[in-house]
Amino acid sequence: MTLLVTGCAGFIGSNFVHTWLAGSDEPIVNVDKLTYAGNLSNLESVLGDARHTFVQGDIAERALLDKLLALHLPRAIINFAAESHVDRSIHSPIDFLHTNVMGTFHLLEAARDYWTAQGQPEGFRFLHISTDEVFGSLGPQEPGFSETHGYEPNSPYSASKASADHLVRAWHHTYGLPVLTTNCSNNYGPYHFPEKLIPLVIHNALSGKPLPIYGDGQQIRDWLYVKDHCLAIQCVLDKGLVGHTYNVGGNNEKTNLEVVETICATLDRLRPLASGRSYRDQITFVKDRPGHDRRYAIDASKIQRELGWTPQESFESGIAKTIAWYLDHPEWVASITSGAYRDWVEQQYTAKTGAA
Ligand code: NAD
Ligand code: TYD
């Protein structure tokens, strides 16, 4: 029994490896290209663990996938690998098409051939990790996205993830591949790369830099602590019905301004500034993201009702844990805020504010 899991040097994948190995001896083969978002330092504590095999590779490289499947004979494939940052997808969409669309296609084809060569075992699973962003943007009074909500992706990122979801669906309907898909809301927690809102704001606050809020800061996201997402994925792998999709969310809708103010208030308590001022003073409103989705919210009642999953963390408990983790791991932040990271921040925020 082995899992072949892609993209586990990134944020959610690395948390998945830690969560999985804390509760199981079933080995994981982790295939990751190590893009700017993949960091082996996220996996430091398991790099010498016999249950975790790391392979640097691209999910669009079919020959490598065939070789790994034949060698490790996994009972399931879980696909986390993706380009995941909306702002980068606006600057340079091509990488999103390469990995999220073509990479998923090659992984599905490799999985189909492997599953067929194995005699189509009933227990095999292809679990695809997706996002709520494929559903588009909600109005203020609309109910959260259910699994039957139409796909209305608005960014190059969400369009590429929507394409991947459709391929996964088609490989089930056409070829019978036993697939599962999860569509999750925004995650936060340890090992989150500081290009995304929550880790960027924590990092900038502690570095004395501006806390950039796009537009009016009233956009809403539905935040889920990453470990709860990892537990939901385990639950879907164990109990999910083949061909089904499951929406995963924390029932924690917050405006971006609320999120940033919560981070500032927590840091004021845990790491007060010598000047006696609040981190709030660093908040800076900057030019909005083009095509910025106004609101995401998830109706997670299907996974709760049918599979018995519920999130363990509230936003308050999860954000406190997250901030404590960043305060305890300055060496991790230092190791990943490299030259390439600094180049991105300069390019992105100079354009928005006129100053780095
Ligand atoms: P991430 O950007 O932190 O990590 C992505 C990982 O994939 C990196 O380690 C990267 O090196 C790897 N990768 C990229 N291209 C690859 C390729 N061609 N071949 C092999 N590896 C490749 O992303 P994340 O936030 O951990 O997201 C993981 C998955 O979860 C993605 O599919 C994303 O769409 C989905 N998701 C993310 C969130 C969120 O809030 N972060 C919410 C819902 C769903
Ligand atoms: P992000 O973490 O990039 O996730 P996503 O775009 O996938 O939801 O952004 C979360 C929200 O925060 C989104 O509405 C954009 C906003 N945001 C800012 O206001 N400032 C920032 O510097 C960043 C990175 C995001």
pLDDT tens sequence across 227-262: 999 999 999 999 999 999 999 999 999 999 999 999
Q: What is the pLDDT of residue 187?
A: 98
DSSP letter assigned to residue 251: S
Name the burial class of residue 236, with classes exposed (0-12), middle (13-18) and buried (19+) by CB atoms within 10 angstroms of its CB. Answer: buried
Q: Note if 341 is an active site residue.
A: no
Q: Give the DSSP per-residue string, 106-143.
A: HHHHHHHHHHHHTT--TT-EEEEEEEGGGG----TTSP
CA of 123 to the centre of ligand 1 (A): 26
Task: Tell me the two tokens of residue 272.
Answer: 């007060």
Residues whose CB is less than 8 angstroms from the CB of residue 248 and which lie 6 or more positions away in sequence, other chains included = 182, 183, 184, 185, 224, 229, 232, 298, 300, 303, 309
Ranges of the chain with pLDDT below 70 = 354-356
pTM score, two decimals?
A: 0.97
Q: What is the position in ligand 2's atom list of the atom closest to the CA of 197? A: 2
Q: Note if 133 is an active site residue.
A: yes
Give the Cα separation of 88 and 94 in Å (integer). Answer: 10
Q: What is the pLDDT of residue 341?
A: 85
Tokens 């919560």 sit on residue: 262
Q: C-alpha angle with apex 169: 164 to 172, nearest 5 degrees?
A: 130
Q: C-alpha angle with apex 320: 315 to 322, nearest 5 degrees?
A: 95
All structural domains of the chain: 3-188+224-251+292-313+339-355 (3.40.50.720)
Which tens digits make up the pLDDT trace of 240-249?
999 999 999 9
Which residue out of 32, 58, 132, 299 is catalytically annotated? 132
Give the Cα separation of 78 and 124 in Å (integer). Answer: 11
212 Cβ inside 6 Å of ligand 2: yes
Q: Which ligand is nearest to the CA of 247?
A: 1
